[in-house]
């Protein structure tokens, strides 16, 4: 059974272990490594993260409860984890400090299945039966331009680092069904912190891993007409209620770096 939390915990232990082993090994090497400073680094890769999505999942549960109330049934997946793709460019303002600009793409997806069995028609005929079945997907995405500062601990074969930064989060929620599609969007300010290590294959190419925590949450979702997500209220009226996208949580990444 796939367990993202176990994978994140295992990745964290492995990364910490590699830090300690690398630091000990390089500390034993008395030769000072001081090659000509390379000013730029380009890195890209991917990984996995856990998402909080509290308000989003609560709203989906409310929708399911309403469908049950009016005689139907709906199964809706909770969204609590998903994939990550990233790319960034960094400039070393000193041998140990770099300023990095990057973009992170996050995705979380689920599905739903809804069915009704109507036993009363418009004239009160209880013998009239009609079955309604609908299936669809729920897709949440977030694009986050980031500004980060990294402090590096360079050794002969490894480059350990601490990183912190801010991001602007562009979120989108797209439920797709046989009856039509809906696009809701929102934005918000994000923060992140992480620690990681690059293993130097040569003077230019490195492989690395990174673990950390990000707070990536948007404001309330709206459509292009600035309407929020809607639910059916009393007497069949439509009312807006607030729902956001919250991709906050721990994450683990792997990637490739080029130093130029």
Instruction: Give the up-direction half-sphere exposure of residue 86: CA atoms within 13 A in the CB hemisphere.
Output: 29
Beta bridge partners of 232: 238
Using an 8 Å Cβ cutoff, are 70 and 86 in contact?
no
Rounded Cα gap, residues 138 and 245, in angstroms: 12
Residue 133: predicted pLDDT: 73
Report pTM: 0.80
Residue 215: predicted pLDDT: 97
Residue 120: predicted pLDDT: 56
Is residue 153 within a helix (H) or strand (E), and if so which, with residue range?
Answer: strand 130-154
Using an 8 Å Cβ cutoff, are 214 and 163 in contact?
no
Using an 8 Å Cβ cutoff, are 72 and 240 in contact?
no
Burial 111-145 (b: 16+ CB within 10 A, else e): ebebeeeeeeeeeeeeeeeeeeeeebebbbbbebe
Is 13's pLDDT higher than 70? no
Ordered by where they begin, the domains of the chain are 4-29+46-259 (2.40.160.20)
């Amino acid at each position: 059974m796939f367990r993202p939390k176990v994978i994140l915990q295992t990745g964290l232990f492995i990364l910490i272990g590699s830090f300690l082993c690398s630091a000990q090994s390089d500390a034993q090497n008395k030769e000072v490594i001081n090659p000509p400073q390379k000013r730029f680094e380009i890195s890209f890769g991917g990984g996995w993260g856990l998402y909080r999505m509290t308000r989003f999942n609560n709203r989906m549960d409310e929708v399911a409860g309403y469908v049950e109330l009016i005689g139907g049934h709906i199964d809706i997946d909770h969204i609590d984890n998903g994939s990550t793709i990233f790319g960034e460019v960094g400039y070393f303002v000193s041998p140990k400090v770099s300023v990095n600009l990057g973009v992170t793409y996050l995705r979380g997806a689920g599905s739903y299945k809804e069915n009704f069995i109507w036993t009363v028609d418009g004239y009160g005929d209880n013998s009239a039966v009609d079955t309604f079945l609908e299936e669809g997907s729920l897709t949440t995405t977030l694009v986050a331009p980031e500004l980060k500062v990294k402090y590096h601990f360079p050794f002969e074969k490894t480059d350990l680092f601490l990183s912190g930064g801010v991001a602007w989060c562009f979120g989108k929620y797209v439920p797709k069904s046989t009856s039509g599609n809906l696009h809701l969007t929102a934005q918000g300010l994000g923060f992140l912190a992480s620690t990681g290590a690059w293993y130097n294959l040569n003077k230019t190419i490195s492989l690395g891993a990174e673990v950390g925590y990000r707070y990536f949450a948007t404001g309330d979702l709206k459509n292009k007409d600035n309407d929020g997500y809607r639910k059916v209220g009393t007497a069949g009226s439509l009312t807006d209620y607030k729902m956001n996208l919250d991709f906050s949580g721990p994450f683990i990444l792997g990637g490739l770096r080029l130093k130029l």
